[in-house]
Amino acid sequence: MSGTGSIRVEGLYKRFGDFLAVNDVTFTAEEGSITALLGPSGSGKSTVLRMIAGLEEPTAGRIFMEGAEHTYKSVQERRVGFVFQHYALFRHMTVQDNITFGLSVRKESKEFQKERLSELLELVQLGPFRDRYPDQLSGGQRQRVALARALAPRPRVLLLDEPFGALDARVRQELRRWLDELHRELGVTSLLVTHDQEEAMELANTVVVMHEGGVEQVGTPAEIYDHPSTAFVAGFVGAANVLAGHVVGGSIQFGDDRVAGAGHLEEGVAAQAFVRPHDVKLAGWEPREGSVVAVVDRVSRLGWLSQLTLRLPDGQQLLAQVPKDETEGVVEGVKVVVDLRNAKAFPAEAAARSAEAVV
Amino acid sequence: MSVAATDTRLGQERLHQHRRRRLLRTALLGVSLAYLAVLLLAPLAGILWVAFRHGFGDIAQTFSQPDVRHAFLLTAIIAVVTLAVTTFFGVIVAWVLARQRFRGKSLLNALVDLPLAVSPVTVGLIAVLLFGRGGWFEPWFSAQGIQVIFALPSMIMVTTFICIPFVIREVAPVLEELGTSEEDAARTLGASSIHSFRRVTLPNIRWGLFYGIALTTARAIGEIGAVLIVSGSVQGQTETATLYIFRALEERQTESAYVVALTLAAVSVVLLGTIEFFKRRSSRRDGS
């Protein structure tokens, strides 16, 4: 399935009454890649997807596919494959009628429809279910039918709106891996809307993080995780501790302790440091310059990791995840010495705007 | 010992409660059955008994009367035209009510129920007021040589008016519950609006639509008040089946009246029964 194209949106806006759902969104989804629109619910990501499909009309902005402007083209002309969150299968049609719908609409020959149908049934591994109705299938099977239906007319781009949102964790994982393989095989340009950062990180080449209708950051999964450009991204993508303090000499000071990484902030302003739990390292028992002494409140095991709930001298809480064999002698009540690495500092007012950090 | 005694007492208490609850349930079931038997079955049995009192002779005799045949023909014509109009426009109005947002939507919503709220006699009187001698529209129609009042046009008009709500009220909630996602999916797959309506929306609303049609038919063939006012009830000309029953009773042709009444009732019952049957069969097959 070659010949699928890139997508570019420029300065996209969407207003519903008084509510600005999409606020100046610009990004490019490269040909043959998977791009994820990642954000909490209500961040406008689905609206962007629906505008690209032509199901919603943008208030302002432009949409390009394969370099040609599509802003005012009809849904039918855009030739996109759309996979809906709740499948949106035609409930009165069998699996095979669902899959061939897009072909019969385009008046393809019966032989071609049959050929394509068996191709797709094999691709989504649903051959034995071709005569079933949607309500006789499991959630995962329905989503695979939805995908086969979207792919049948060989769309130029594939748009997926929370495709695994309604499935349980195990099926999600399975389908995610399967979609990844499928994409490697077909190479169709895909745009995936999700609120699940793991999903975005695992599948996407490029992640567009959205918040309150706007774009917070565009980058590869590694860039988004290692170098969040806003407090929101730092808090939303991956777990993070948030330590409140103020800037002193390029560090953030909280109580008598400091953490480095605020060189770009003005001296004296209130600021927050984002520290990921795995960036909290146990550093022996002797306090050193730059290390922090904390009391262990709780120790719990997460598989091969130990999760420590620590209390800093100024009362703030700090979660640490360390390999379990490094935790000898660490029990509730003792004082430990930790290093805080890779802290990201943001001015407090910007951080306050963001959602609460997920820990 | 005292513990055991308490246990027994508690057990008895529970038994009493259980019995009381069962008694109440039986009583409620009895009331429902008696209510429906008295109000639905008794009249039906009465009609059946009178109609078949002298065997099939009465039935054959009744249907041999030209007046009766003409009355049924007239009722059928009115029902078919009413059905075509209310179905076509009903689906459009239901779609607008379910899918579009606009100023005055709640007003339109209330307006749809107006025919149910107004007495059919009033509807007939309004029609006479508008189209009868000295009415607002009468000069124009008589200039075209069309007689509206005391003729078929007004009878169709009032019946249609009275039957407006049924299709709309059956279809709109189904459309609303259905949502737009299947239609959206059809559009992204390249279907035009008409194509998507025909192949995706229509099959999904078909049972609601059939119910609406059945109710409309039942109402159309049973309507008498409004038709009585506008038709003038001219024997063999503007006399529908219900009007025939009315006259037959006055002329003490009780058997004929009951035979015609029974036929009308049978049509409605068969109609509703058929739809229920097909609906069940289809829901067993595809679960929709």
pLDDT of residue A191: 94
Judged by a CB distance cut-off of 8 A, whether residue A82 touches chain B is yes
Amino acid at A295: V
Q: Give residue B285's pLDDT band: very low, low, confident or very high (50, 70, 90).
A: low
**Residue ending a domain, choose from A182, A200, A232:** A232
pLDDT of residue A359: 35
Residues A213 and A137 in one domain: yes
Judged by a CB distance cut-off of 8 A, whether residue B194 touches chain A is no
pLDDT of residue B287: 43
Which member of A53, A89, A106 has the closest CB to residue B188?
A53
Residues B45 and B74 in one domain: no
- Chain A contact set for B99 (CB, 8 A): none
Residues B8 and B26 in one domain: yes
Percent over 90 (pLDDT), chain A: 37
In three-state secondary structure terms, A27 is strand
Residues A92 and A21 in one domain: yes
**Residue ending a domain, choose from B51, B73, B90:** B51
Which member of A91, A105, A133 has the closest CB to residue B190?
A105
Question: Which CATH number covers residue A333?
Answer: 2.40.50.100
Mean pLDDT score, B90-101: 92
Residues A57 and A166 in one domain: yes
Q: Containing domain of residue A137, as a range?
A: 7-232
A54 in Cβ contact with A71 (< 8 Å): no
Interface mutation vs chain A, best among B103, B188, B284, B288, most A CBs within 10 Å = B188
Residues A181 and A219 in one domain: yes
A25 in Cβ contact with A9 (< 8 Å): yes
Residues B138 and B276 in one domain: yes
| Residue B286 scores a pLDDT above 70 | no
In this prediction the ipTM stands at 0.81
Assigned domain for A294 exists: yes
Q: Give residue B26's pLDDT band: very low, low, confident or very high (50, 70, 90).
A: very high
Least Cα separation, residue A86 to chain B (angstroms): 8
Assigned domain for A319 exists: yes
Whether residues B288 and A92 touch (CB distance < 8 A) is answered with: yes
Q: Give residue B279's pLDDT band: very low, low, confident or very high (50, 70, 90).
A: confident
**Residue ending a domain, choose from A188, A212, A232:** A232
Assigned domain for A243 exists: yes
Residue A248, token pair as written in the block: 């002193």
- Chain A contact set for B199 (CB, 8 A): 90, 101
**Residue ending a domain, choose from A173, A208, A232:** A232
Residue A177, token pair as written in the block: 């891996």
Which member of B190, B200, B203 has the closest CB to residue A153?
B190
Question: Which CATH number covers residue B211?
Answer: 1.10.3720.10
Assigned domain for A65 exists: yes
Residues A188 and A151 in one domain: yes
Assigned domain for A2 exists: no
Long-range Cβ contact pairs of A249-252 (< 8 A, separation 24 or more):
A252/A343, A252/A345
Whether residues B188 and A133 touch (CB distance < 8 A) is answered with: no
Residues A257 and A137 in one domain: no
Q: Find, among A212, A172, A158, the residue nearest to A36 by Cα.
A: A158
Sign of torsion, CA B257 B262 B263 B265? positive
Residues B19 and B65 in one domain: no
- Chain B contact set for A102 (CB, 8 A): 189-190
Assigned domain for A35 exists: yes
Assigned domain for A359 exists: no
Q: Give residue A265's pLDDT band: very low, low, confident or very high (50, 70, 90).
A: confident
pLDDT of residue B288: 41
Q: Find, among A40, A63, A38, the residue nearest to A50 by Cα.
A: A63
Tokens 């057990």 belong to which residue? B11
pLDDT of residue B184: 93
Q: Find, among B195, B192, B215, B191, the residue nearest to B203 by Cα.
A: B195
| Residue A352 scores a pLDDT above 70 | no
Judged by a CB distance cut-off of 8 A, whether residue A53 touches chain B is yes
Amino acid at B57: G
Tell me how many domains chain B contains. 2
The strand pairing partners of A243, in sequence order, are A273
- C-alpha A87/C-alpha A100 separation (Å) is 16
The strand pairing partners of A258, in sequence order, are A253
Mean pLDDT score, A218-234: 91
Write the pLDDT tens digit of every residue in B122-170.
999 999 999 988 888 888 888 888 888 889 999 999 999 999 999 999 9
Tell me how many domains chain A contains. 2
Direct distance between the N- and C-terminal alpha carbons of chain A, in angstroms, rounded to an integer:
42
Residues B136 and B268 in one domain: yes
Question: Which CATH number covers residue A61?
Answer: 3.40.50.300
Which member of A84, A92, A149 has the closest CB to residue B203?
A92
Mean pLDDT score, A211-227: 92
Judged by a CB distance cut-off of 8 A, whether residue A92 touches chain B is yes
Amino acid at A337: V
- C-alpha A37/C-alpha A49 separation (Å) is 9
Q: Containing domain of residue B14, as a range?
A: 1-51
Assigned domain for A358 exists: no
Residues A192 and A336 in one domain: no
Residues B67 and B185 in one domain: yes
Cα A341 to the center of its chain, rounded Å: 24
